[in-house]
Structure 1
Amino acid sequence: MTLSAAFVDEHITKWEAALTRPAYPFRSKWPSRLFHHAPLENAVRIIIDGNLRSRNDPANQRERDVAAAGVIDARQHAHDSVRLYFRPRNPTQWHIEGIRKSGECQYGEASHAPVLIMLVFEARRVLSLPDVKFCDRNMQLGAAEPHDTEEHFSAIPFDKVYHMGGTGGDASIVQHRCAEVLVPSPLLLDGSLQWIYCRTSAEKATLLHHLGVYGAQWAPRILVSDDLLVFERNYVFVEDVSLSRRGVSFRLNPRRDLQTVDVRISAIDKDGNQAIQFRNNSMSATPPRPSTGWIYESELADGQYLVDVFLEGHLAFRSFLSVGTGLF
């Protein structure tokens, strides 16, 4: 059965109104959208392919598998479907997002998305597609069952799905935050994908660099914005990077616990020569006031450089940057 457009519109209107309140007002923008988070490497493959594919789709080009092995292997029921969430910042995302130190990933080092990209889809479009199903919790849970009727959709406890803040010991809230939509694979991005969200301008530049010739096509849809508050931001990441004749300037978002960070920066000139090689394995992400960012001084000639920033050994930024105002 297919959800009717009128039914979907009624759902969106109801929950946009219910979530328009002083506490967490950004949630009012969630009901009209569906969400899929992906590590940088996978997001690049998805965007170039132009399709979001299921785990079992033979054309899936997933490069980095961040699914927790013990969880994803527990059930196969949803592996033939494209899986979207009704909301961002769900428990699954919480476990994988961010550049972490060794040993900080609950489900192992592989279950880790250092740079996370959020794909935002139009709920009206996707929920009205033929053969779409949905579940009121994560399909990896033993009691989870998919449905396709308006009656079952209306029974989803969206007050718990969209819930923010403490749970008061109610474990069902955590489960329902992972409610998902199951779409036949593949899901074509054109016509359903609304935006691609990045945490910072540096991560947007990194995504565009990896997209190569496809970057210009998708750039208008790639945003750096907090309007939907789709990221957790608990761990270190790169805010911005720039070059000048003095060297490389950079700003980092600090960890919530303010621990020091292993930072490595390199810059390669057009001839393949190493122009900058910086390493500090125990660096504060925040410089002394009044500075807002760091600079590593190294005299640079005018030209273009490939700049890499690694945090805790993970790629956090990569793009070409220029020194001087000429054309290179």
Structure 2
Amino acid sequence: MAPARNMSMLSAKAAKSLAEEAAGLNGLHLRDLLADSARSRGLVYELGDLRVDLSRQKLRTETVAMLLELASQTGLAKKIEALFAGAHINRSEDRAVVHMAQRAEARVESAEYAGLAAFADTVRDSDITDVINIGIGGSDLGPAMVSAALASHADGPAVHYVSNVDPAHLHDVLAGCTPDTTLVITTSKTFTTAETMRNAALARDWLGGRGPGMAAVTAAPKVARDWGVAEDRIFDFDEGVGGRYSLWSAVGLPVMIGIGPDHFAGMLAGAAAMDEHFRTAPFEANLPVLMGMMRIWNRNFMGHAAHGIMPYDQRLHLLPAWA
């Protein structure tokens, strides 16, 4: 069952103080706040080689303390504990949130992961020159973003992503590929997504039974088998894994093929380290908590309805679409 709801955030005692704080800061220009070098230094947080700089936010170091008090008063610590304990905090589906398990060390040491990595190595060691991933939403955006971000590590077949039901998208990719050396991966949780399955059928016709053929990544392996994908080329994942978080699972197969299992495992290890940091770090040093409270500060107290995500590196240009 889902954990009991905590008190409304805006009815918490700290919310009144934050509302007064926002009213006082609204009249200040950011350049006046930035003139205080001690403030700027105090709003920089680090974890390994990651740095979060909050000094460009319209707040004071005292504001951060108020926000963290709000987090405490509304039971955030218990909610984080419930998340990692497997409570059904996914209220809309009455499920636990399980994507953290996809990047945990135990999964990397599992037979499922070993099979996925073995298949990726087989593809990388073969004559396959191109891999086409057909998916939509989280089955496309996450892997495509990571493939672009880690392009400098790519040393396997060229990896392409097709998501638009407009056949021109698939046609333009196929125009540069050869059936004899192209592997098509159909990625769909249900293996019934209309746009994905239409493109998959077109790609199957194009392959014409030649070359490496097709593979499937799905939470419905029986449906994939019935559609015609060979048993040993179906890679499943937990249906409780949400679309935007699925790239850590078998959905990341095209990424693994492109950069290799070792680099993929390194990416998972980095994500697992952040999970552990989020679970254990005190709020005043907890990067996910601090960034989450910035959203609350800007939206609920400063009245900023829009939230901008602007990548600092061209290789992260697909991050906003995925996020």
Q: In which range does the TM-score fall when normalised by the shorter chain?
A: under 0.3
Q: Which structure carries more strand by proportion?
A: 1
Higher RCO, 1 vs 2 (CA within 8 Å, ≥6 residues apart): 2
| Bigger Cα Rg | 2
TM-score for the superposition, normalised by structure 2: 0.24
TM-score for the superposition, normalised by structure 1: 0.24
